[in-house]
Structure formats: structure tokens, C-alpha cells
Homo-oligomer: A and B are copies of this chain.
Amino acid sequence: MDQRPDIHAQTASTMTKRLLRVLSGERCERPPFWLMRQAGRYLPEYRKLRGEAGSFLDLCYTPDLAAEVTLQPVRRFSLDAAILFSDILVVPQGLGQAVDFVEARGPVLEPICNSADLARLDGTDITARLSPVYRAVERVVQDLPENVALIGFAGAPWTVATYMVEGGITREFGVVKSWAFEEAESFQRLIDLLVDATAAHLIAQIAAGAEIVQIFESWAGVLPARAFERWCTAPVAAVTRKVKARYPSVPVIAFPRGAGILYEDYAAATGIDALGLDSTVPTKWAARHLQTKVPVQGNLDPRLLVIGGKAMEAAVADILEDLAGGPFVFNLGHGVFPETPPGHVEALARLLLDGRT
């Protein structure tokens, strides 16, 4: 399966996909767009299928269902990309950690607290354990419209480590920071394990047909600068190197949400191809300081997609004015909220395609 480099060569055919053209540095008069969490709870057809599927993880690990959910928003809206329906916590599960999703509470993991817990994790057969994810990628490819690109993804090592160590969502990051600051050497082993596992997971998605990968660093905004460089920048650089060693022409997008001032050095230091901007990044500043180095993607506040109407239209116009002059992918600055009316996504798509809702 790893022996199919042809589907990733930059042939004239694949490069007609608008998103791939922009990620190679081209500017498109009409910027391509997709939305983080474009597949999910805001869509009635997702809720219906989710109700029938059993657990959230059953959905992720059943190729037909994961592929169906991935394609739902592509059928409704004129999106330039599909992003595989999956979760960043399949990687810890693939390493042997117990992961569960509890309704109305979120993910619950048996926490990894120290070197002994770490020793029980095993990255050797992660792509075998996660093979249903790659089968889902293959199913999506079969039904993907020819102008739509397929994005695979993974969480960045630091972000995934926060869930693994805290045992779920945290607000203070007390346990994981204590480990990282106090016992940097053993924490480095966890990060190194995640670098290898994340790269293997992305490479397997590409081998199955993903044309682009995105690395989600959801918790880039909680570390001091020196710690950010060690635990966010360096591991993402290592993952990117490993992916590019196998698939040099597959674009890597990174989304270091909340990186703030640290956005500026991140693109060069990681070697990624494009930078996802969260909603707080000023677009005028991004045009001068980021887009001059790499294509950028973002960054409508997803709350404005819930609100819709004039407020959304004005914000979209501002973003386009500031960023559409260079290589730019329109997206949100964070995931679609479950309470988003699908009609607002439809209006956004019309606005981006035709310049009016």
C-alpha cells in the first residue's frame, strides 16, 4: 500500500484541485475553502447516523460509516476539501492507552503518569491497530468528487500528550506541565514516542489516499516560549521531516491554535507548507508577517457562522480583503460549533463562490 507514490505526484490532474494549487504557493482568484469540523453534529444527517452507529469510536473505526460522515458536508456544500472523520485520540489508543468518549463529558483516558506507564505503551504496530482509519480513507477516495482534495490529520505530540497525561480535557495543564518542567528527559520520551506514532499515522493516511495532512496543535497557547519551542515546534518539525522523507510533495498544514506571537517563527522552524490561523490572529498582520513566508488558512470566528447574516458577511469581507491577495485558504479559526445552522454554511459557501449570499 505504501508503494503507490503515483497518486501523490504533482501531475497536472491532481494540481487542478484548487486547494493543492494554493498549498503549492499559488494565489487563486477565488480562494479554496473548507471548514474545521465540517463533518459533525451540526448536520442532521450526521446526528441520524451517529444515533445508529453506537459509540463515537465505533463511528471512527467503521470504515463505511467514517467515510460516509466525511463525505456528508461535501455533498451539501461546494467545499474544496474533505477532511477525514476521525479523532486525534486514536493515536494514544493505537499506542495501547485506554481511551473512552463519555457523552457530555468528552474523552476519558487512563492517565499516563510516569516512566512506568510510558513503558507499557507500544508504538510498533500502531498502523496495524489503526488500519480501519486507513480503510476509511480508501473508501472516501472512491467517492470523492474529482475537484475535491482529501485531508488526513493528527494531533500534534504536545496536544495529544496533554490528554494522555491529564486523562482528558484540562484547563490548567497542571499535571502535564509538572512532568514537562520537572522531568524533561522522561517527558521527552513520551513526546518522541508520539513523534514516531504521529508520523506513522499520517504516512499511512497518505498511503491510503490522503493528499494533504493537517497537524492540530490545539493547545499551542499554554506554554512559555522556551517550552513551546521544545514541546510544540521541535516535535512538529520532526513529524514533518518524517512525513516529507516519505512523501516530499504532500503538503503539511499545521494549526498551532493560540500560538500568538510565536506564530511568526513557527512556519520556518517546523518546515510546514501552510499555517492555520486561529481567530485571534490579526489578518493584516498575518498578510505581512506570515503569508509572505507560507500560504495561510483561516480564520473566521466560528461564532460568526452561528450568528450568520450581516455580521458574518462583514467579517468574511475583511478576511478576504486582507488575505486573498496571496496564497490563501478560507477556513474558520476553530471548529464548527454544533449549534451552527447548516443554512449559514450554505450562505458562507455562496458568499465565497459568488461573492453574495
Contacts and interface: CB of A to CB of B under 8 A. Distances in A.
A330 to B, nearest CB: 14
A280 B221 contact: yes
A279 B224 contact: yes
A263 to B, nearest CB: 7
Contacts of A260: 221, 258-261, 280-281
Contacts of A258: 221, 258, 260, 280
Contacts of A282: 225, 261-262
A315 B280 CA distance: 27
Interface stretch (A61-69, A152-160, A171-179, A247-255): A171-179
Q: Which residue of A174, A260, A284 has the most chain B CB atoms within 10 A of its CB atom?
A: A260
Given A172-B337, A303-B178, A283 B225 contact: yes
Nearest to A309: B182
Interface string A304-323: 10110101000100100000
Contact of A173 (B177, B226, B259, B303): B303
Contacts of A225: 280-285
Given A226-B318, A311-B181, A306 B174 contact: yes
B301 A224 contact: yes
B304 A181 contact: yes
A178 B307 contact: yes
Interface in A253-303: 258-263, 279-285, 299, 301, 303
Contacts of A309: 182
Given A258-B260, A261-B261, A281-B261, A337 B174 contact: yes
A228 B280 contact: yes
Nearest to A304: B181
A317 to B, nearest CB: 11
A235 interface: no
A168 interface: no
- Count of this chain's copies in the oligomeric assembly: 2
A183 to B, nearest CB: 9
A23 B281 CA distance: 29
A94 interface: no
B177 A303 contact: yes
Nearest to A263: B261
12 contacts: A174-B339, A178-B303, A181-B304, A182-B309, A221-B280, A224-B279, A224-B333, A225-B280, A225-B283, A260-B280, A261-B280, A261-B282
Given A181-B307, A258-B258, A260-B261, 18 more contacts: A173-B303, A177-B301, A181-B303, A182-B309, A182-B311, A221-B280, A223-B279, A223-B301, A224-B280, A225-B280, A225-B283, A226-B318, A258-B280, A260-B281, A261-B281, A261-B285, A262-B280, A262-B282
